[in-house]
């Protein structure tokens, strides 16, 4: 949610670094963009509403500059406009900001009483004015930043330039992500590593309450104005891994990466058969219950996980929406394991839920994709999904990697409690080996899903129905469709439809019906017949073993059989590709859907 980048050094032209960094960060917000850079002895600001490309065409990237900060915005306070976009400058201070200043109204009134005149509606301009006021009082940037931390409530990652010193860039962080990256006699700040990966892969992560003073050849980090040492990390992925590599969209590339992602995510846990799984995973036996807390697709992955962990591990599991969890009465204690699922590891609600769980004395386990992210660093235990950088706002490969780890947790508990036979373990391990080929076989049918998409892409309402895990997949399929194609869509537990929602089924209403679980397939088929007889056009998604000719569907997608523990990883593939093809036919901005941002770092 908002992306920031900054550069100091002589190796590159700051404007080039800023624009290329912003292009990589655009998935974090694309309402407007801006840069501040020092040309000669003057600080200049350029901003444009809309995409980075608008900003890029409005500036001359060849203007020589050794210092600059840039921002791509996802509006929170004030509409998307040139005036509200960052950077903001007040007096001698110029900033870019990611986060929300919660007490900005009180601070604004105080500053207005002190004679400050505001131009924008943003909380960021208030933060900037406060920094300027504190700097006027102290004439010392370190002291200014320490005082700022005491006055401000909320979340912020800030890149700051002070007019009195164009040889220094400042960075400050509280609950919004910020890294500092190291080149040769040049240094960077950014919201995440991919933003600067074409220049360097060495970086440190600032923790909450820390700030940094950055010159072209020195980075000094502080906490409470005391110098602190930080360990330098090296990012594993290459610059190519964050390119489209010939695919039309990042989303498509990421969908097609799923066979590899699956292999990478399971490898460590199964390389020596079940022994490695038991050895590497935590001991889940000691917990009486599990809560899975997450948002959006990560929460949908959690619902699949709940079903599998309850069935195979025989432990009660609740799935909670993080934004609800954080404000409700909780019945959790040291006997409850709280699992936080997050691709970015920065989702504000999930991070807050983690803190609450820790306060309640629970052990916390993060299932996280981004290394060293806030949730990863704060969780007691972390299991990393190995999905690599996910750029498309709509998650695909990270979601399936989350399900992969949750399935392995279910298997681990079943094995350690001896709830599963040796033969079944063997079957699962063999299916794990076969799964990438089966995923690929579904990817290879992309054109078939396109034909189905052609029949339904111009509809206004599309329903998804299923039971148990299939219902969880309906939620994900429906969310994918909504977020990238803007078609209104609802996911319903198949048996629940007749209690009201069936009134919305009309002649030719598309209903995507998922039937993969043999034990309840007849029940779901009865529900499908109920909608079919009311005029629905049914797209049946079913498995090879349940596949039979019948007249209760119009279109059919058949997925390979696998062990139940892994079935969701196959079922989701056509759903992802169907949404993709529908969105493409509707000419939607697939990688950057309207109103959304990849990493939701605000409440
Ligand atoms: O980074 P996280 O996994 O914590 O993000 C959670 C949701 O914001 C995310 O899954 C969102 O729902 C996606 N846009 C769905 O595609």
Under DSSP, the state recorded for 331 is -
- Ligand 1: which atom is nearest the Cα of residue 297? 10
Residue 437, φ and ψ in degrees, nearest 5: -65, -40
pLDDT tens-place string over residues 522-549:
999 999 999 999 999 999 999 999 998 8
| CA pair distance 347, 205, nearest whole angstrom | 16
Distance 41 CA to ligand 1 centre (A): 43
Distance 354 CA to ligand 1 centre (A): 16
| CA pair distance 5, 67, nearest whole angstrom | 11
The set of residues, in sequence order, having a beta carbon less than 8 Å from that of 475 and lying 6+ positions away, is 300, 303, 464, 491
| CA pair distance 243, 391, nearest whole angstrom | 9
**Phi-psi category of residue 589: left, alpha or beta, with phi > 0 → left and psi -120 to 50 → alpha:** beta
Ligand 1 within 6 A of 21 CB?
no
pLDDT tens-place string over residues 199-230:
999 999 999 999 999 999 999 999 999 999 99
Distance 103 CA to ligand 1 centre (A): 27
Whether 564 shows a pLDDT value over 90: the answer reads yes
Q: What pLDDT does 241 receive? A: 73
Q: What pLDDT does 550 receive? A: 87
**Kind of pairing between the strands at 3-9 and 186-190:** antiparallel
Mutate-to-test residue for ligand 1 from 298, 305, 369, highest number of ligand atoms within 8 A of CB: 298
pLDDT tens-place string over residues 158-202:
999 999 999 999 999 998 889 999 999 999 999 988 889 999 999
pLDDT tens-place string over residues 113-152:
999 999 999 999 999 999 999 999 999 999 999 999 999 9
Distance 366 CA to ligand 1 centre (A): 15
Whether 600 shows a pLDDT value over 90: the answer reads no
pLDDT tens-place string over residues 485-515:
999 999 999 999 989 989 999 999 999 999 9
**Residue nearest ligand 1's atom 10 by CA:** 297
Distance 303 CA to ligand 1 centre (A): 14
Q: What pLDDT does 8 receive? A: 98
Distance 367 CA to ligand 1 centre (A): 13
Burial degree of 258 (CB within 10 A; 0-12, 13-18, 19+): buried
The catalytic position among 2, 128, 295, 415 is 2
Q: What pLDDT does 276 receive? A: 86
Q: Nearest CA to 90 among 50, 40, 36?
A: 36
Distance 428 CA to ligand 1 centre (A): 29
Whether 371 shows a pLDDT value over 90: the answer reads no
pLDDT tens-place string over residues 261-273:
999 999 989 988 8
Ligand 1 within 6 A of 393 CB?
yes
Ligand 1 within 6 A of 476 CB?
no
Q: Are 469 and 281 in contact (CB under 8 A)?
A: no
Mean pLDDT of 466-480: 98
Mean pLDDT of 411-433: 95
| CA pair distance 510, 506, nearest whole angstrom | 9
The set of residues, in sequence order, having a beta carbon less than 8 Å from that of 162 and lying 6+ positions away, is 92, 93, 135, 141, 168, 170
Q: Nearest CA to 3 among 580, 393, 398?
A: 393
**Residue nearest ligand 1's atom 7 by CA:** 296
- Ligand 1: which atom is nearest the Cα of residue 347? 4
Active site residue 2: yes
Give the length of the chain.
603
Distance 343 CA to ligand 1 centre (A): 7
| Per-residue pLDDT band at 303 (split at 50, 70, 90) | very high
Residue 86, φ and ψ in degrees, nearest 5: -95, 165
Whether 595 shows a pLDDT value over 90: the answer reads no
Q: How far is CA 24 from CA 176, 239, 389, 393, in A?
A: 18, 11, 11, 12
Ligand 1 within 6 A of 343 CB?
yes
pLDDT, the chain, mean: 94
Active site residue 598: yes
Beta strands in 494-577 (DSSP E): 510-515, 537-543, 555-559
Q: Count CB-CB contacts under 10 A for residue 523.
A: 13
Q: What pLDDT does 227 receive? A: 97
Ligand 1 within 6 A of 295 CB?
yes
| Contacts of the segment 175-178: beta carbons below 8 A, 24+ positions apart | 175/99, 175/208, 175/348, 175/351, 175/374, 175/601, 176/98, 176/99, 176/346, 176/601, 177/98, 177/205, 177/346, 177/373, 177/374, 177/599, 177/601, 178/4, 178/98, 178/205, 178/206
Mutate-to-test residue for ligand 1 from 1, 28, 29, 295, highest number of ligand atoms within 8 A of CB: 295
The most confident of the ranges 59-63, 326-330, 471-475 is: 471-475
Q: What pLDDT does 77 receive? A: 79
The catalytic position among 133, 175, 584, 598 is 598
Ligand 1 within 6 A of 373 CB?
no
Q: What pLDDT does 30 receive? A: 80
Mean pLDDT of 562-582: 98
| Contacts of the segment 197-201: beta carbons below 8 A, 24+ positions apart | 197/24, 197/235, 197/237, 197/238, 197/239, 197/242, 198/20, 198/239, 199/12, 199/17, 201/234, 201/235
Q: What pLDDT does 218 receive? A: 96
| CA pair distance 64, 52, nearest whole angstrom | 20
Q: What pLDDT does 74 receive? A: 83
Q: What pLDDT does 120 receive? A: 93
Distance 171 CA to ligand 1 centre (A): 27
Q: Nearest CA to 29 among 83, 97, 88?
A: 97
∠ CA 525-528-532, rounded to 5°: 135
Q: What pLDDT does 560 receive? A: 97
Whether 17 shows a pLDDT value over 90: the answer reads yes
Ligand 1 within 6 A of 344 CB?
yes
Q: What pLDDT does 250 receive? A: 95
Q: How far is CA 489 from CA 143, 170, 199, 459, 567, in A?
A: 52, 45, 42, 10, 23
DSSP string, 67-104: EEEEEEE--SSS-SSTTTSSPEEETTEEEEEEEEETTH
Q: What pLDDT does 357 receive? A: 97
The better pLDDT of the pair 193, 292 is held by 292
Mutate-to-test residue for ligand 1 from 300, 347, 589, highest number of ligand atoms within 8 A of CB: 347
**Residue nearest ligand 1's atom 14 by CA:** 394
Mutate-to-test residue for ligand 1 from 343, 594, 603, highest number of ligand atoms within 8 A of CB: 343
Mean pLDDT of 151-155: 94
Ligand 1 within 6 A of 509 CB?
no
């Amino acid at each position: 949610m908002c992306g920031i980048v900054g550069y100091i050094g002589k190796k590159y032209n700051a404007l080039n670094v800023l624009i290329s960094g912003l292009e990589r960060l655009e998935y974090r917000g694309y309402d407007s963009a801006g840069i501040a850079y020092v040309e000669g002895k003057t600080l200049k600001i350029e901003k444009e509403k809309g995409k980075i490309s608008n900003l890029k065409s409005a500036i001359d990237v060849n203007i020589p500059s050794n210092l600059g900060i840039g921002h791509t915005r996802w509006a929170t306070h004030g509409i998307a406009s040139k005036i509200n976009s960052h950077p903001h400058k007040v007096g001698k201070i110029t900033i870019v900001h990611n986060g929300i200043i919660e007490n900005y109204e009180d601070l604004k009134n105080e500053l207005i009483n002190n004679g400050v005149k505001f131009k924008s509606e943003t909380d960021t301009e208030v933060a900037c004015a406060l920094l300027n006021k504190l700097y006027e009082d102290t004439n010392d940037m370190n002291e200014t930043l320490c005082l700022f931390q005491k006055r401000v409530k909320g979340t912020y990652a800030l890149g700051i330039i002070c007019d009195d010193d164009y040889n220094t860039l400042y960075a400050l962080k509280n609950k919004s992500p910020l890294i500092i990256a190291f080149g040769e006699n040049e240094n960077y700040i950014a919201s995440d590593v991919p933003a600067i990966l074409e220049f360097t892969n060495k970086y440190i992560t600032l923790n909450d309450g820390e700030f940094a003073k950055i010159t072209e050849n020195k980075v000094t980090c502080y906490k409470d104005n005391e110098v602190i040492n930080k360990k330098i990390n090296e990012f594993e992925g290459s610059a190519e891994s964050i390119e489209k590599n010939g695919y039309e969209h990042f989303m498509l590339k990421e969908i097609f990466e799923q066979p590899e992602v699956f292999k990478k995510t399971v490898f460590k846990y199964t390389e020596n058969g079940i022994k490695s799984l038991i050895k590497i995973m935590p001991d889940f036996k000691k917990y009486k219950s599990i809560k899975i807390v997450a948002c959006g697709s990560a929460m949908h992955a959690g619902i699949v996980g709940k079903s599998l962990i309850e069935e195979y591990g025989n432990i009660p599991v609740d799935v909670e929406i993080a934004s609800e969890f954080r404000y409700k009465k909780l019945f959790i204690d040291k006997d409850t394991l709280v699992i936080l699922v997050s691709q970015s590891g920065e989702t504000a609600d999930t991070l807050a839920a983690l803190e609450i769980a820790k306060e309640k004395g629970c052990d916390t386990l993060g299932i996280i994709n981004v290394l060293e992210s806030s949730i990863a660093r704060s969780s007691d235990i972390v299991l990393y999904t190995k999905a690599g950088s996910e750029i498309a706002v709509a998650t695909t490969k990270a979601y399936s990697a989350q399900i992969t780890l949750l399935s392995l947790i279910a298997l681990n508990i079943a094995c350690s409690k001896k709830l599963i036979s040796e033969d079944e373990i063997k079957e699962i391990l063999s299916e794990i080996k076969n799964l990438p080929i089966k995923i690929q076989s579904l990817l290879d049918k992309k054109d078939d899903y396109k034909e189905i998409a052609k029949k339904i892409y111009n509809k206004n309402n599309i329903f998804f129905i299923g039971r148990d895990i299939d219902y969880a997949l309906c939620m994900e399929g429906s969310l994918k469709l909504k977020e990238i194609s803007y078609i209104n869509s609802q996911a319903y537990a198949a048996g629940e439809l007749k209690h009201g929602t069936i009134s919305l089924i009309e002649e030719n209403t598309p209903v995507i019906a998922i039937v993969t679980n043999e034990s309840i397939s007849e029940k779901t088929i009865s529900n499908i017949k109920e909608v079919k007889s009311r005029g629905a056009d049914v797209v049946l998604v079913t498995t090879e073993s349940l596949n039979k000719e019948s007249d209760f569907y119009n279109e059919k997608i058949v997925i390979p059989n696998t062990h139940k523990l892994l079935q969701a990883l196959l079922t989701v593939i056509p759903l992802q590709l169907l949404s993709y093809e529908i969105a493409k036919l509707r000419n939607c901005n697939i990688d950057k859907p309207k109103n959304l941002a990849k990493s939701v770092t605000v409440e």
